[in-house]
């Protein structure tokens, strides 16, 4: 039977009337994240990033990411356990990101999670990376209300979700049809001669620029787009528009006898404004259409100062409450994965089997992967019958 033991007795945390202690593993991209939570209480959130290695190539290299995870997992687990002040034997369950993400990177985390769960004789929960970003909000210590609209923006994903219930009802309203917002930041930074990662570099450059200097296009925002793609995003056209503007501006300067020089602050500020405008406009439109006065922001791109600023300003005017977890919980991390698994456990969900693998395109509607079916005997239960 491809399942970890769930036992024919009450789990320790249930028998002792306490919230489950869960260790979460996150390796979907370039950050090795290990987090430990007790229910919705954060005990540790340890991250090892391989960003510096990828910077040499101007972007994330899957093979480099996978190797970095292999090297970082054990020391990161040890650091997380030490920070939480527990031993591995004390945990009630192991959780791991099954997807979406880079297949090779995911496989490293999944392999480690399976080995850890089997060696410790603990149940394993394979969960969705994107839903994990929503679960990060639980770790702020504040009450969380549903339904909520969730805008998740990162280097690999840009998604707009309607979350009616974290563990059972997450609906995808729209997503990027090409480049994710974070990917667009990286590509435009390269056009402007800025280093990787592009998000913080463009943010810094834009601080002294004029966001109204150049009117760049807002993807999928025309009336003709809204019928089919009301909540979808597209940033490849914006990236192309920036490249064309820079090229044409250089030609204009050359014609006038000036040495070509990109007005980086104005281009960066105008590009950033176009991205932020689309993201916030569509998110608040979803709040209005579905009658949900709550908006959750998540993902690494939420570190962008202008995005947070505009979202808070416009949401306040629309009567929408905005929740933004601490930035340490917005980027990829293991704590959010542990938090999601803890909610699954407390909601009565059974563990995942050992049959699951990495799914680079896992849909957000699949919150938990390969849950043991009700009535299915696990290894220990089968042995008990014999």
* Residue 186 annotated as part of some ligand binding site: yes
* Residue 17 annotated as part of some ligand binding site: no
* Residue 133 annotated as part of some ligand binding site: yes
pLDDT band at residue 13, thresholds of 50, 70 and 90? Answer: confident
pLDDT of residue 374: 73
- pLDDT, averaged across the chain: 93
* Residue 43 annotated as part of some ligand binding site: no
Per-residue model confidence as pLDDT tens digits over 189-216: 999 999 999 999 999 999 999 999 999 9
* Residue 153 annotated as part of some ligand binding site: yes
* Residue 182 annotated as part of some ligand binding site: no
Per-residue model confidence as pLDDT tens digits over 214-228: 999 999 999 999 999
pLDDT of residue 18: 83
* Residue 291 annotated as part of some ligand binding site: no
pLDDT of residue 259: 82
List the domains of the chain with CATH numbers: 12-136+331-385 (3.30.420.40), 142-326 (3.30.420.40)
pLDDT above 90 covers a percentage of the chain that reads: 89
pLDDT of residue 375: 63
For residue 359, pLDDT beyond 70: yes
pLDDT band at residue 60, thresholds of 50, 70 and 90? Answer: very high
Q: Mean pLDDT across the stretch 316-328?
A: 97
* Residue 35 annotated as part of some ligand binding site: no
pLDDT of residue 384: 31
The pTM of the full predicted model, rounded to 2 decimals, is 0.93
* Residue 44 annotated as part of some ligand binding site: no
pLDDT above 70 covers a percentage of the chain that reads: 93
Q: Mean pLDDT across the stretch 242-263?
A: 93
pLDDT of residue 4: 53
* Residue 203 annotated as part of some ligand binding site: yes
Q: Is 74 exposed, middle or buried (0-12, 13-18, 19+ CB in 10 A)?
A: exposed
């Amino acid at each position: 039977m491809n399942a970890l033991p769930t036992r024919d007795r009450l789990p320790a945390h249930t028998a002792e009337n306490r919230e489950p202690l869960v260790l979460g593993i996150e390796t979907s991209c370039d950050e090795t994240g290990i987090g430990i939570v007790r229910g919705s209480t954060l005990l540790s959130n340890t991250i090892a990033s391989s960003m510096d290695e990828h910077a040499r190539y101007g972007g994330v290299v899957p093979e480099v990411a996978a190797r970095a995870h292999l090297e970082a997992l054990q020391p990161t687990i040890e650091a997380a356990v030490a920070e939480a002040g527990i031993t591995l034997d004390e945990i009630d369950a192991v959780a791991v990101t099954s997807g979406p993400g880079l297949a090779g990177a995911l496989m490293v985390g999944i392999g480690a999670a399976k080995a850890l769960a089997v060696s410790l004789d603990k149940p394993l929960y394979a969960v969705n990376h994107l839903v994990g970003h929503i679960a990060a909000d639980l770790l702020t210590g504040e009450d969380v209300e549903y339904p909520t609209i969730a805008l998740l923006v990162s280097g690999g994903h840009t998604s707009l979700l309607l979350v009616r219930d974290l563990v059972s009802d997450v609906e995808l309203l729209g997503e990027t049809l090409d480049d994710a917002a974070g990917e667009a930041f990286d590509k435009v930074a390269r056009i402007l001669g800025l280093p990787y990662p592009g998000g913080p570099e463009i943010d810094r450059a834009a601080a002294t620029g004029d966001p109204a200097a150049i009117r760049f296009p807002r993807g999928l925002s025309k009336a003709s787009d809204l019928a089919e793609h009301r909540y979808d995003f597209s940033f490849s056209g914006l990236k192309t528009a920036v490249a064309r503007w820079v090229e044409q501006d250089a030609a204009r300067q050359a014609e006038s006898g000036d040495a070509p020089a990109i007005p980086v602050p104005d281009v960066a500020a105008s590009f950033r404004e176009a991205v932020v405008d689309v993201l916030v406009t569509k998110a608040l439109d979803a709040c209005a259409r579905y009658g949900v006065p709550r908006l959750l922001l998540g993902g690494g791109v939420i570190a962008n100062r202008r995005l947070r600023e505009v979202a808070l300003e416009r949401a306040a005017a629309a009567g929408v409450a905005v929740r933004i977890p601490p930035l340490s919980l917005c980027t990829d991390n293991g704590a959010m994965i542990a938090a999601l698994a803890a909610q699954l456990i407390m909601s009565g969900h059974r563990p995942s089997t050992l049959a699951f693998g990495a799914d680079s395109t896992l849909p957000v509607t699949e919150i938990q992967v390969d849950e043991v079916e009700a009535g299915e005997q696990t290894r220990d239960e089968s042995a008990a019958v014999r």
